[in-house]
Amino acid sequence: MKCPGCTSDMATNMVHSIEIDRCPSCGGIVLDKGENELIDSLGLAHVIEGGVTAAHEHRTTTARCYECERDMHALKGAGDVEYDWCDGCERLFFDRGELTAFDAFVDG
Ligand SMILES: [Zn+2]
Ligand SMILES: [Zn+2]
């Protein structure tokens, strides 16, 4: 899979027995639809459900889903977490540093 942010090939990592796609180049993270276990573990459900359309503050380029060949929607969720969402495959993309819950999860 290509990174929605920088088009590098993403690497699959196993974290706490959950498979995630992470970009070795920019550190972005993709969560596929159905990775509810990970979303639950990270406590992300409330973040994602509260997402509203908003321009990202630290990135000027639009993230793109290369699986669907369409631009992703820039959203801002609870706690001002910025992420991108593909309305084709419902994939989520988080920039490096956006997912502090994830960083804590990995390090823990
Ligand atoms: Zn990347
Ligand atoms: Zn897609």
Give residue-wise pLDDT tens across range 44-103: 888 888 899 988 887 788 999 999 999 999 999 988 889 999 999 999 999 988 877 677
CA of 33 to the centre of ligand 2 (A): 10
> Whose atoms come closest to the Cα of 65: which ligand?
2
Give residue-wise pLDDT tens across range 17-50: 778 899 999 999 999 887 877 788 778 888 888 8
> Whose atoms come closest to the Cα of 26: which ligand?
1
Query: How many Å apart are CA 25 and CA 93, to the nearest integer?
Result: 14
SS (H, E, C) 15-65: ECCEEEEECCCCCCEEECCCCHHHHHHHCCHHHHHCCEECCCCCCCCCCEE
CA of 68 to the centre of ligand 2 (A): 4
- Partnered with residue 12 across adjacent β-strands are 21
> Whose atoms come closest to the Cα of 32: which ligand?
2
- Partnered with residue 20 across adjacent β-strands are 13
Taking phi over 0 as left and psi of -120 to 50 as alpha, with beta for the rest, 11 belongs to beta
**pLDDT score for 19:** 81
